[in-house]
């Protein structure tokens, strides 16, 4: 029998649910796992204090939120942080990757949080959220996997209580179809200076995850689309413009860890010169009144089927 081709959702969930698959290899190469890079990120977000994104949120809003929603929860790392830091009383969370959800449930149970963390399977692009229900909605590196941004942001806008908040820790750099050789010119110059034994490739490859068609599908549109229905009240950019691309393609079993410092200096100089930050963490409030009504109409009129 001829096998049907996978849909984008099926391909993406297959990618994330494959045990020991390429996604675990990529996680091991993630730029944020490097010690000097993590120090750079937490100092940048904390403006001198050492704060990871969720810790930064807690410092801004120390009072516990009632009910939260985590969109694209994966295996539940964010929700466990929310419980540990006492950010929310309870959290609903969903993802399309069923295997990851099973892991999230097991870990929640192991920590005694099964009553406070509720996991369910759903598609970013078709979910219907309950109205006026949540005190805060979280995106943790998940919004850049959403094709129907307008649809989902409208659902979030309507699901938040009048004084609710949207929190997003996201990649907002070029979308997957926007990577041209020109965008990688500086990266290639730096990479070309490295000793051959430090490099996995001769040239910097476009940072596109071909095995996950949802990766960065409309990432460059996230902030513009968010601004339609939300006012950003807090924001911390934390780079990744050089680091997220070069760190994973350097052979760190040969290159000295200290070289991370050189890359961090180069990224800081690029950002100070006006370069775009690919990573940001924001807190936003939904627009209300006439502005909110118009935002909903605009989202609805531009929502793609």
Q: In the prediction, which pLDDT does 302 show?
A: 87
pLDDT of residue 29: 59
d(CA 194, CA 199): 7
Indicate the helix (H) or strand (E) that contains 223.
helix 222-229
Q: Which helix (H) or strand (E) holds 282?
A: strand 279-286
pTM: 0.90
Instruction: Work out the average pLDDT over 32-43.
Output: 94
Q: Using 50, 70 and 90 to split pLDDT, how confident is the model at 303?
A: confident
What's the rounded mean pLDDT across residues 196-223? 95
Query: DSSP string of 90-138?
Result: EEEEEES-HHHHHHHHHHHHHTT-TTTEEEEE--TTT--PPTT-EEEEE
Question: Which whole number is the average pLDDT over 241-269?
Answer: 96
Lowest mean pLDDT among 13-17, 58-62, 246-250: 13-17
pLDDT of 59 over the 80 cut? yes
Q: What is the pLDDT of residue 48?
A: 84
- For tokens 């994330």, the residue is 16
Model pLDDT for residues 149-181, shown as the tens digit of each residue: 999 999 999 999 999 999 999 999 999 999 999
What crossing angle do the helices spanning 98-110 and 8-17 adopt, rounded to 10°? 40
In the predicted structure, residue 184 carries a pLDDT above the cut 80: yes
First to last CA, the chain: 30
- The rounded distance, in Å, linking the Cα atoms of 218 and 178 is 10
The model's pLDDT over 103-114, given as tens digits with 9 standing for 90+, comes to: 999 999 999 999
């Amino acid at each position: 029998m001829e096998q049907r081709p996978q849909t984008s959702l099926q391909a993406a969930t297959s990618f994330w649910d494959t045990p020991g698959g390429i996604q675990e290899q990529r996680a091991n190469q993630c730029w944020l796992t490097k010690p000097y890079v993590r120090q750079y990120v937490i100092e940048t977000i904390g403006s001198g204090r050492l704060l990871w994104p969720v810790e930064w949120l807690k410092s801004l809003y120390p009072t516990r939120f009632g009910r939260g929603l985590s969109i694209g929860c994966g295996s539940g790392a964010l929700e466990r942080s929310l419980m540990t830091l006492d950010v929310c009383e309870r959290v609903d969370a969903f993802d399309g990757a069923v295997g990851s959800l099973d892991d999230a449930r097991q870990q929640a149970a192991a920590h005694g949080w099964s009553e406070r963390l509720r996991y369910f399977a759903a598609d970013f692009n078709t979910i219907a959220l309950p109205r006026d229900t949540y005190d805060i909605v979280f995106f943790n590196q998940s919004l850049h996997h959403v094709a129907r941004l307008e649809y989902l942001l409208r659902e979030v806008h309507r699901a938040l209580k009048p004084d609710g908040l949207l929190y997003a820790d996201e990649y907002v750099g070029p979308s997957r179809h926007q990577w041209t050789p020109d965008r990688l010119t500086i990266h290639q110059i730096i990479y070309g200076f490295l000793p051959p034994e430090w490099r996995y490739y001769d040239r910097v490859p476009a940072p596109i995850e071909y095995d996950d068609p949802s990766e960065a599908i409309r990432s460059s549109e996230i902030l513009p689309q968010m601004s339609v229905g939300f006012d950003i009240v807090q924001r911390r950019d934390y780079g990744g413009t050089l680091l997220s691309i070069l760190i994973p393609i350097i052979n760190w079993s040969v290159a000295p860890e200290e070289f991370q410092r050189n890359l961090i200096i180069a990224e800081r100089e690029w950002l100070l010169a006006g370069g775009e930050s690919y990573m940001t963490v924001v807190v936003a409030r939904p627009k209300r009144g006439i502005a909110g009504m118009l935002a909903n109409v605009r989202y609805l009129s531009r929502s793609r089927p």
